[in-house]
Structure 1
Amino acid sequence: MIVGLFNDSFPPVMDGVAIAVKNYAYYINKKYGKAYVVTPSFPGYKDEEEYEVIRYFSIPVVLRPPYRFGIPFLDLKAMRKIESIPFDIIHVHSPFSSGVLGLYIAKKRKIPIVASFHTKYYDDFKEATKSDFIARLGVKIIVEFYNRVDEVWTVNSATAETLRDYGFKKEVKIIPNGSDFIPPRNIEEYREKIERLHNLSKEEVVILFVGQMVKQKNVEMLLRSLKVLKDENISFKAILIGTGKDEDYFKKLAEELKIEDRVIFTGKVLDRELLKAYYARADLLAFPSLYDTSALVVKEAAALGCPSLLIKGSTVAEGEGVIDGLNGFLSEDDYINYAKKMKEILSQRELLKKVGENARVTLYKHWEEIVDIVVENYKRLLDKYKGKQ
C-alpha cells in the first residue's frame, strides 16, 4: 500500500495535526507499505524522517507565524515528483494548499481520497479577519471542499458536530487520535531531569501548559488565574511550552501581573523525550482552550499519569470523555473559578494521583493501535472503490 499524507503543517511547525501525520506516516511505513508526506517547504529545515517528505514552494503566513502558505502548482519540480508516485490512496489533513493538491492528485489518478477535519476554521477566520461575513464565507468554501472527497473523518463526535454546524450533511467517520508516548518504568528519572533543568525541589507544585502561544488557546485566562494563586500565597511553578504569534504578549502580561517569578516560558520543545519528562514532572496539565477540537496534549499527559484541567462544555472536554474528578477535572471558563479549581485539586495529592492513573487507563491509546484502525479503513475504502470500477 502506498499512502499520500498531505498536510499544511509538519515539523518544524508543530501542532496536533502535524504530530498525527508524523505518526500515521511512521507506522504505515513501518508495518503496511510506503507513506509519503507532502507539505509546504520550510526554509533552512532538513527532514530526517524514516519516510520521504516532499516539500513544495511556500511563503510565510504573516498573521500566523510559523505557518507557511504553500503554492504547489508553481513548484514544477515538486509537482513532477508527486505526480510520479503510484499512490493507492490519498489522505489529506487540511482543506488548504495541501488539501487542494491532494484532491487534484486523487481525481487525476482516479484513486480514493480521505479528508480529516481537525480545526475550528470559523474561529481562525474570525480571529484573522475580524469579520463574521468573511469567516462564514471561508467556512462555506471549506464545506464545499469536504463535499468533494470520498470520506470525511474526524477525531471525536463533538468535532463531527462542529463540521455539521458548518453545514456539512454527509456521514462523518470517527477515528480518534493517539499518543506516541509509552509510559516509562523509570518515571522518577524523567521527573529529576526537569528538576535539574529548572532548579525545582521535589516538593514544588508544577502546573503545565503545552500548546501554541495564541489567544485562542485561552492562555490569558490561565495567566490571570495563576495571578490569583500567587496572591493567595499558593506555592507553584507554571511551565508554558510552545511558541506562536502572541508569545511576546503573554510574556509581557506575566510581567504586568507580577507573576514572572512563577512562570517559565520554554519556547518550542521538539525533543519528545524532554517533553515526556515535562509531563512526568507536572502535577497538573492546565489546558483551558475552547478553540481545540481535540487535544493530543491531554492524551500525552495521560500517558504519564498527569491529569488535565479543562473547561466544562468545551469540545476537548466532551470529545475526550473527561469526567470531573474521575479521569480529569473541569472548570467554568473564568479565571476566578479556574484558580479556585486549581487550588482545590492541587491540595489533594492522593486525588491527583488517582485521577492521573484513571486518565492513563481511559484516555491514553498509542498511535500504533490507531494506525492499525486507520489502515483497516483504508483497505475498506480501496475495496469499495474497486467495486465501483
Structure 2
Amino acid sequence: MNRTDNKIYGLFNDSFPPVLDGVTLTVQNYVHWLSIMGYRTCVVTPWNPVTPSHEGFDLYRYFSLSIASRKPYRYGYPKVDPFIWHKMRTVPFALVHSHCPFSSGRLALYAARKQRVPLVATFHSKYRTDLEHSLPSWMVSRIMKRVMNFFNSADEVWIPQARVEDTVREYGYKGRLTVVENGIDLEMENFDAILDFKHGSRERLGVAPGEMMLLFVGQHIREKGVELIIQAMDRLRDLPVRMSFIGTGYAVDDMNRLIKRFGLEGRVTLHGVISDRELLKCYYAAADLFLFPSMYDNAPLVVREAAMMGTPSVILKGSTASEVIVDGVNGFLADQTPDSYADTVRRLYKAPESVTAAAKGASSSLTRSWREVMDEVVLRYKEIIERYGRS
C-alpha cells in the first residue's frame, strides 16, 4: 500500500472524545499521525451527544446508550443501527485495527471478514476487572468468552507492554503476541528545559515554595486506587503536601465524601476533566510526584506523560505498570496500603534530590514520541497487509 491508494485504515474503539481515557488518547494519536503522514483513516465509535472535531479523517458513529454506572461512557448497540453495517461493507478498508473487543470490536471483525482485510486487535485493559465492577459472575464468564473469541479471531494481537502478556495468558489466549508501545504527545527539548517549565508551571498554578504537589490523572474509579491516595493524604497532614485529581468517574461522590470525612478539603482538590492539553501539561510539570496506586492498569500512558514533564511516579509493587519502573532510578515503588504509600511520600519529601534524580531517569527512559511509534505502526500495518495478501 502507498499513500496514493484509495484504501483506508480503520480505527475502532468504544470511546472517543468527549470521553477521555488512555485508550481514547491512543486512538486520537493514531488517527492524528496517520493523517499527517498522508494515509486515509477513519474512526468507528459509539454515538455521543457531543460531536468531536474530526478534520482530516472520517468519523462513523453508531447507536448508543449511556452507561449509568460508568458515566460518561456509552455502550454501543450496532445491531439496531443498519447504517453502520452498510458502512462496514462499503468503506474501502486496507486494514482494520480495533482497540476494544466489545461493540466496536464486533464491527471491526465484521468489516474484516466481509471485505477480506486483516484485523489487528490491541489488548489494552483488564477486561474481566471492568466487567466484574457491575455484572454478576455468570454474565462476566459469558462476556469474557466472547472477548477471547474476538481476540482469537484477530489476525494479529498487539499488547502495549511486555508484562501485559501475563494478563492475556491468564485469560486463555494462546496465540502470538506483538509488543507495540504507546507514545506520548507532550515533548520537551531536554531536562534543563523540563526544569524551567516545571518552575514556571508551579508559579502559574500557585504552588508555594517548599510545598509538595502530588497528582493523579485518570478515571476516578476504585480500581485505580483513588481512595487509597486520599487515605494516604490523611496520614500526611503534618506536611505541606497538596493533592490534585484530574478526571472523572463513578467514584467521584465517594471520593468527595472521604475527603470531607478526613477534613482534607483544603489539601485535596478534584479538578474534573481538563481537556486543554497545554493546561494539563502544566499540572504534570508542577507536580513533584505522580501517584498511581493501580493494580488494574496495563501500560498507563499517564505515567509516561508525567515522566516527560519531569515528574516520577509512585507505582504499586507487583503491578503490571511497575514493569518499567526501577525503584529510585526512574520512579518509586510502594505496597498497596495507605501507610506504605504515605511513608514513601514522606521519605521523598525529605529527600528532594532523590525525586530530581528519578525525574531525570523517568524523562530519559519512559518517553517515546507518537511520531516514532507511528513510524513503527505503519511498517507493521504494511507487513500485515502484505502477509495477509499472500495467505
Same fold (TM over 0.5): yes
Instruction: Report if the CA contact (8 A) 2:194-2:309 is conserved.
Output: no
SS in 2 for 1:63: helix
CA RMSD of aligned residues (A): 1.6
- Answer yes or no: is the 8 Å Cα contact 2:207–2:286 preserved in 1: no
Aligned to 1:301: 306
SS in 2 for 1:83: helix
Q: 1:47 aligns with which of 48, 53, 57?
A: 53
1:361 aligns with 2:368: no
Deviations 1:106-129 (A, max 9, x none): 100000000111111111111112
Q: Describe the superposition over 1:14-69 as per-residue Cα deviations: whole angstroms up to 9, x where unpaired.
A: 11100011111111111141111111111133424432222111111122111111
Cα distance in 2 for residues equivalent to 1:354 and 1:371: 30
Q: Decide which of 193, 203, 207 is 1:200's aligned counterpart.
A: 207
Whole-angstrom CA distance in 2 between matches of 1:195 and 1:37: 39
Alpha-carbon spacing, 1:152–1:186, altered in 2? closer, same or farther (3 Å): closer
Distance, in Å, in 2 between the alignment partners of 1:212 and 1:5 is 22
- Distance, in Å, in 1 between the alignment partners of 2:244 and 2:55 is 29
Alignment of 1:24-39 (within 5 A): 24-39=30-45
Q: TM-score w.r.t. structure 1 length?
A: 0.94
SS in structure 2 of the partner of residue 267 of structure 1? coil
Asked if the contact 2:183/2:368 (under 8 Å) is kept, the reply is: yes
Secondary structure of the residue that 1:364 maps to in structure 2?
coil
Partner-residue secondary structure (3-state), 1:128: coil
1:86 to 56, 69, 92: 92
Aligned position for 2:329: 326
Structure 2 residue matching 1:157: 3-state secondary structure: coil
CA distance in 2, matches of 1:316, 1:17: 15
Classify the secondary structure of the residue corresponding to 2:11.
strand
> For this pair of structures, how many residues does the alignment match?
382
Per the alignment, residue 109 of structure 1 pairs with 115
| Comparing 105-114 and 79-88, the one that deviates more | 79-88
Check the 8 A contact 1:178/1:364 in 2, yes or no.
yes
Partner of 1:247: 252
Flag the 1:155–1:253 CA change in 2: closer, same or farther, 3 A: same
Q: Mean Cα displacement is larger for which, 152-161 or 40-49?
A: 40-49
Query: 1:153 and 1:186 mapped to 2: Cα distance?
Result: 32
What is the TM-score with the length of structure 2 in the denominator?
0.94
The yes-or-no answer on 1:215 pairing with 2:218 is no
> CA contact under 8 A between 2:216 and 2:246: conserved in structure 1?
yes
The farther-off stretch of 326-335 and 368-377 is: 368-377
Contact 1:140–1:166 (Cα < 8 Å) also in 2: no
Shift of 1:189: 5.1
Q: Name stretches of at least 5 consecutive residues in structure 1 with no aligned partner.
A: none
User: CA 1:174 to 1:46, structure 2 compared with 1: closer, same or farther past 3 Å?
Assistant: closer
Identity across aligned pairs (percent)? 38
Contact 2:89/2:114 (<8 A) preserved: no
> Post-superposition shift, 1:88?
0.2
Alignment of 1:237-316 (within 5 A): 237-316=242-321
